[in-house]
Structure 1
Amino acid sequence: MITVQFLLTALVVVIAPGTGVIYTIALGLGQGRQAALWAALGCTFGIVPHLAAATLGLAAVLHTSALLFTAVKWAGVSYLLYLAWQTLRSGGALNVNAARTTQAGWTVARRGALINILNPKLSIFFLALLPPFLSGNAATATAEMAVLGAVFMGLTFAIFVLYGIFAAAARRWLLGSRRVMTWLNRSFAAIFAALAGRLALERA
């Protein structure tokens, strides 16, 4: 069940920069290590509903229900555009600036969780990723899916924490220049907007 092949596959998926990684890096640069850890925690727990949906077969319902898929998708698109705006707006929640601002940990985590919760493709992704690594015993399939999902979440949290720590360490080197800060904020905003555009083009 938990094979080297599964671990390598999961690791490749987690390492690939996505919305959660960008969010965690932005928080690490803007607010430091503690905020990045909360961001990593939130993004990780945002996976839980999708893993549950894949385990219980609800992902197939989402896949076949165009209305439900579209509703969740456009909520996700709107949220990503909101994050892009928060990155560009002076004093915004994700704006990177030299004066470190501190937000409540749960606020940072909740925002990170919503990034993944509002991405309907994740449920379908897990429905495709996990079953090939099951033992084939129908009686233990649900438990095996839960274990594989837990391992995937553990890897996600660990890798995101590493991204966040790296970003926090780089903060003092990158934020000495107003030009660099402007470039970072515009880059993060462009990435969130691009991710929103990609999500908008997704089909069930």
Structure 2
Amino acid sequence: MVSFANLLAFSLISLGIVCSPGPNMIYLISRSITQGRAAGIISLLGVMLGFVIYLFATLVGLASLFNAVPFIYELVKWAGVAYLLWLAWNSFHSKTSILTPQTLSVEPPKKLFLMGFMTNLLNPKIAILYVSLLPQFQDPAQGSLLLQGAALGLTQLIISFIVNLFIVLTASTISTWFSTRPTWQKIQRWFMGSVLTGLAGHLAFERVGK
């Protein structure tokens, strides 16, 4: 089973990533403001299906891979560190706010679900999240890698759903509040960049196969 320390660290990284700039957040905010909360929730369900598909593909492929080639742990660890630093760099240097909504056309529920699904499925950030980060927190000494990956993935799904649901329900308020407070936008970017940088440093010194 996943250790509490690994679960906590992975939860913090998942929280940092879901709160960082990306297509999912932009789409959900824009859709919720344009068409209302119900449309935002339907879109969010499509986004979550994309997460589930990525997670399933990762678990099926990586469980066997890491059992056969433990050295791959080192490779994915440094890929994960590089990814977190890239997110931090983007957060520090971003000149625009992800909380500024885009104008979208009104769509039926079926298309809303599909658009949310495709927005997430075509988001490279999600693929990198599962492929390079999730395996770092799987320890062969703790039991089945498949079960550990499932527990970590479920944790990420829950965190993503809660954060994105909050975004959908408060999209208009959040967008209005931040649009009139540029200082808070800057604080948000620098805080998130600092958190991601710290997590990258922590992961860099993690020993694989503890």
Structure 1 residue 193 displacement after superposition: 0.9
Q: Does the aligned pair in 2 maintain the 1:41–1:157 contact within 8 Å?
A: no
* Corresponding residue for residue 117 of structure 1: 131
How far apart, CA to CA, are the structure 2 residues paired with 1:199 and 1:14? 13
Q: Give the counterpart letter for 2:26 in structure 1.
A: Q
Residue 47 (structure 2) pairs with residue 52 (structure 1): no
* Matches of 1:118 and 1:16, distance apart in 2: 12
1:31 to 16, 26, 31: 26
Q: Mind listing any 5+ residue stretches in structure 2 that lack a counterpart?
A: 31-42, 104-117
Size of the alignment, in residue pairs? 174
Residues 1-204 of structure 1 aligned to structure 2 (within 5 Å): 13=7, 17-27=11-21, 31=26, 33=28, 37=44, 44-48=52-56, 51-52=59-60, 55-56=63-64, 58-63=65-70, 65=71, 68-91=72-95, 96-100=97-101, 105-106=119-120, 109-119=123-133, 120-124=135-139, 128=142, 130=144, 153=153, 156-171=156-171, 172-173=173-174, 174-175=177-178, 176-204=180-208
Amino acid in the other structure paired with 1:160: S
Deviation at 1:22, TM superposition (A): 1.8
Cα pair distance change 1:111/1:117, threshold 3 Å: same
Q: Compared with structure 1, are the counterparts of its residues 155 and 107 closer, same or farther at alpha carbon in structure 2 (3 Å cutoff)? A: closer
Structure 1 position 84, deviation (Å): 0.8
**What runs of 5+ residues in structure 1 fail to find an aligned partner?**
1-5, 132-144
Give the alignment's TM-score, normalised by structure 2: 0.60
TM-score (norm 1): 0.61
Contact persistence 2:10–2:152 (CA under 8 A): no
Distance 1:49 1:75 in 2: 19
Alpha carbon RMSD of aligned pairs, Å?
4.2
- Counterparts of 2:74 and 2:185 in 1: how far apart (Å)? 35
